[in-house]
Amino acid sequence: MKGHIEAITLWIIVAGTALVGCGEEKTARPSGTLEATEVDVAPLLQGRVLTVGAEKGETVQAGDTLLAIDTELLQLKRRQTAANGASIEAQLVTARDAVAQAERRLQLLETNLERVRKLNDEGSATQQELDNLEAERDIAEHGIEQARHQLDVIRAERVKLRAALDVLDRQLEDGVVLCPVDGTVLVRNIEPGEVAAPGRTALRLADLSTVELRLYLEAGVLDKVKLGDTFAVYVDALDGESLQGRVNWIASEAEFTPKNVQTREARAQLVYAVTLEVENPDGRLAIGMPAEAELGW
């Protein structure tokens, strides 16, 4: 399954940062838009989609079934492969018996050979008899080697078959796509009856229980902001209602102001990206909403 997590950087930057002085107290109100970590869910298996387990806008939990893909052909292939296993097991029994029989024959020849050597020493057996038994002993030793080699070949075939079954089992598992995280369905790109393609996004999710406000601050303001600081956040859609945003990331490198800022002069400024985490338990906040933070010091 090619499943991946992207931080969607939807933002709007107000050119420059406004500073208001009142004695020793200063504030800045940089703005941006709300974003959230999005997860693209894509199947690892190609096949006809049987069911899609979530509608756009629906809340899902990790482990929920999002897609079910037709795996009937894979199931038939697995049964066919498993049937070959019975044949291999029968061959293993035959090969083990052949090895055991060859070992018993060699043991008998060794016993006879030892007896004939004694008789030859006593003059009661000819050298020809001794030579014949030694030749049979050599043939029996070679036969054991062949029987053992055949046994090893069949064992390797069994390992290969079990590996093939493991692959098929994994593919059958991939026919059911489970939700990787708790979240809300933002995009639904596939419907029952369509053919799913490996790696092609079928659903897009985002955990909207918290959202982030990405800001860009000049160096003169950045040194007033620390990880863990909380500031008031105002979302345009909430008519001036104040929320709390906690600083959870500060960029370690400066960058030029993003290109969608309106003036050339503002785009030429070096700024630092900062994100504030804002709780969204009631789901009122959505990706892309304009917002600003009131940074005071």
Residue at 22: amino acid letter: C
pTM for the whole structure: 0.71
- Give the whole-angstrom CA distance, residue 235 versus residue 290: 6
Q: Give the pLDDT confidence of 22-81 residue by residue, as tens digits.
A: 445 578 899 999 999 999 999 999 999 999 999 999 999 999 999 999 999 999 999 999
Beta-bridge partner residues of 256: 270
pLDDT given for residue 265 in this prediction: 54
Residue 288 confidence (pLDDT) above 80:
yes
**What phi-psi label fits residue 264: left (phi over 0), alpha (psi between -120 and 50 degrees) or beta?**
alpha
pLDDT in tens, 197-232: 999 999 999 999 999 999 999 888 888 899 999 999
Higher-confidence residue of 259 and 253: namely 253
pLDDT for the residue numbered 122: 84
pLDDT digits (tens, 9 = 90+) for 128-185: 988 898 899 999 999 999 999 999 999 999 999 999 999 999 999 999 999 999 999 9
CA 172, CA 174: separation in Å to the nearest integer? 5
User: What tokens does 19 get?
Assistant: 């500073």
Looking at every residue in the chain, the average pLDDT score rounds to: 87
Q: Sketch out the chain's domains with CATH numbers.
A: 4-36+208-296 (2.40.30.170), 72-174 (1.10.287)
Q: Helix count (H) and strand count (E) of the chain?
A: 4, 18
pLDDT in tens, 74-116: 999 999 999 999 899 999 999 999 999 999 999 999 999 999 8
Among the listed residues 203, 103, 208, the one whose alpha carbon sits nearest the alpha carbon of residue 148: 103
DSSP letter (8 states) at residue 236: G
pLDDT of amino acid 258: 64
